[in-house]
Amino acid sequence: MASPVSSPRTPFGRIATAMVTPFTADGALDLDGAQALAAQLVDAGNDALVLNGTTGESPTTTDEEKAALVKAVRAALGDRAQLIAGVGTNDTRHSVEQAKAAQQAGADGLLVVTPYYSRPPQEGVYRHFTAIADATGLPLMLYDIPVRTGAPIDTETLVRLAEHERIVAVKDAKGDLGASSWVMARTDLAYYSGDDMLNLPLLSIGAIGAVSVAGHLVSADIRALFDAYAAGEVAKARDIHRSLLPVYTGLFRTQGVITTKAALNRLGRPAGPVRLPLVDLTDEQLEVLRRDLAAAGVHI
């Protein structure tokens, strides 16, 4: 069910939000809320949504909940946007099972994070990703975020992985513009910014899109930034980037899903609580978030 905005250069469109997983007040999966939130995000200008990623609290949702979420959002959206399902774990066999389940549930693509905690050598990283890519017919976006996983995807490993026909993109949250530049120069991998604060810097070295947390609140502004840059209006893109700095800062004073759900709840949009070991914002933290967002014209 590929979105009409996709192409070999932009396999998942340009703007995607890494969607929170709404829960009810008692912590159960809220599929009605997920369908409503997904529709709101697509209406706001997202080409794709990432489900069951870090911001979707994937470490604390079951395999059954993950599949149900993809099915429900697919049913709500039809082909209005692409759905990228997070399936990465630190167990290759489990990740393969999740990849197959995501394909059956209706996902258009897979987001696969570097195996975490185990800190495998690069050959293990390479084999992990290729095993998952071989398991389905879906395109893969690799997720490179060593601050969480403890293991980067090295440049040479990314170059090798780019040879696989279904490994087409990278969600880059490595924070190493030099390394990312080399991979973009040597491969056809489509780079998506995985760190909102670096959306514009990554765009300047060749990234083609963003997988955003801030997109829950400012999708239209992020799209305007990318459109301005593509049109050669670099100063305008810079100004938009600077105007969004308080949003980026506010959402990441603590774990991003905590602040994002707090903001959505204040706006009356589907979100609900977080699951342990995450904890909801205190009143004092919520006030700081409110001030941060207000500085960028976002009022909660």
The mean pLDDT values, 10 residues at a time, for the chain of 300 residues are 54 97 98 98 98 97 98 98 97 98 98 95 98 98 95 96 98 97 98 98 97 98 97 97 98 97 98 98 98 98
User: What is residue 2's predicted lDDT score, i.e. its pLDDT?
Assistant: 38
Of 71, 117, 126, 143, the active-site residue reads: 143
User: What is residue 124's predicted lDDT score, i.e. its pLDDT?
Assistant: 97
Of 66, 171, 174, 261, the active-site residue reads: 171
Say if CB 291 and CB 273 are below 8 A apart.
Answer: no
Active site residue 171: yes
Structure letter (DSSP) for residue 29: B
Hey, which residues does 169 pair with through a beta bridge? 141, 190
User: What is residue 9's predicted lDDT score, i.e. its pLDDT?
Assistant: 86
Say if CB 106 and CB 71 are below 8 A apart.
Answer: yes
Which segments of the chain are extended strands (E)? 15-18, 48-51, 82-86, 109-113, 140-144, 167-172, 190-193, 209-212
User: What is residue 285's predicted lDDT score, i.e. its pLDDT?
Assistant: 98
SS3 172: strand
Active site residue 100: no
b/e sequence 115-138, b meaning 16+ C-beta within 10 Å: bbeeebeeeebbebbbebbebbeb
User: What is residue 32's predicted lDDT score, i.e. its pLDDT?
Assistant: 98
What is the residue type of 202?
Answer: L
Tell me how far apart the alpha carbons of residues 209 and 62 are, in angstroms, rounded to a whole number.
29
**In the block, which residue shows the tokens 């979420």?**
69
Say if CB 88 and CB 167 are below 8 A apart.
Answer: no
How far does Cα 118 stand from its chain's mean position? Answer: 23
User: What is residue 1's predicted lDDT score, i.e. its pLDDT?
Assistant: 39
